[in-house]
Amino acid sequence: MAIGTQCLTWFEGRWHEGNTRILGAADHGAWLGTMVFDGARAFDGVIPDLDLHCERVVRSAEVMGLKAPMVAGEIADLIRAGVQRLSSERALYLRPMIWSREGSVSLIDPLPESTQLAVCIEDLPLREPGPYALTMSPYRRPSADSALNEAKASCHYANNARVVREARGRGFNNGLSLDQQGNVAETASTNVFVVRDGVVMTPVANGTFLNGITRQRIIALLRDDGVRVEERSLATEDVAAADEMFLTGNAAKVTPVTRFEGRDLAGTEFGMRARALYWDYARQVRKAA
């Protein structure tokens, strides 16, 4: 599936145009789900936190039992070269992917040295702020002792897909999951922040969801701007009582929430503030480059 109108993929030593075929029918990763990936963004001439995204895909591979065929800096250089080659004025989604070609003697676990790398670059607009409705999902995040939650892995997304599918079936944009202990965790595709009485709160990273790179960046930017940000365990009641909510993730960076369940939220001040701070940070990255 191509998500954009332009697609450029690095695979087996060269760049290919279009939706390049990278998996074989007998590839271990194709039938036993070892693929890990990451997503960075290029927009307005800048690629914020590319180094962190490339470091994470290498880390995810290691968690999955794979040996990354390149170090993070080499992957970042490939991505920069691909962005220059595509020379698109549109916002780009930058996706390095690593998976296993062969299994070990047991077949189930991957042979670490059999890993393959591809980098896919596609155009994908950044979502502008607008109406966005969130609901509580009936589906929960797996616990840290039952899933490799610290890896950004394709195999996790079947559960995420049913979260968003169920939410959309009830007229919402996304669903907010709890962890196995009943704490608020994340949506199907983003980390979540709630605001009450001027305090920004976000679920503490407890191993049940990905501690997003954009999440970490927004926490730092808000604190530097004088906002009180608390990482803590949140219950459904905390979300229901929120004055405001916003989401963070690589695809859209910061998304203010305008409705939770059947309640219109009072405003989007903090979400828009976080978004503005992120764009200011991106501009500073461009100036420093």
The model carries a pTM of 0.95
Is 120 buried (19+), middle (13-18) or exposed (0-12) by CB count in 10 A?
buried
| pLDDT tens by residue, 214-223 | 999 999 999 9
Q: Collapsing DSSP states into helix, strand and coil, what is residue 48?
A: coil
DSSP reduced 3-state for 8: strand
Residues in the chain: 289
Q: Which residue has tokens 């405001």?
A: 244
pLDDT at 156 over 60: yes
Question: Residue 186 in contact with residue 139, Cβ under 8 Å?
Answer: no
| Summary mean pLDDT of the chain | 95
- With a pLDDT cut of 90, the percent of the chain lying above it is 92
Confidence of residue 286 (pLDDT cuts 50, 70, 90): low
Phi-psi label, residue 226: left if phi above 0, alpha if psi -120 to 50, beta otherwise = left
| Structure letter (DSSP) for residue 37 | E
**Up-side HSE of residue 67: CA atoms within 13 Å toward CB?**
7
Q: What is the 3-state secondary structure (H, E, C) of 203-229?
A: ECCCCCCCCCHHHHHHHHHHHHCCCCE
pLDDT (average), residues 88-113 = 93
At residue 105, the pLDDT reads 82
| 279-288 LR contacts (CB < 8 Å, sep 24+) | 281/48, 281/217, 281/221, 282/43, 282/44, 282/46, 282/48, 283/44, 283/46, 285/46, 285/48, 286/44, 286/45, 286/46
What b-and-e string marks burial along 52-90, b requiring 16 or more CB atoms within 10 Å of the CB? bbbbbbbbbbeebbbebebebeebbebbeebbeebebee
Instruction: List the domains of the chain with CATH numbers.
Output: 7-123 (3.30.470.10), 133-286 (3.20.10.10)
- Classified as helix, coil or strand, 119 is strand
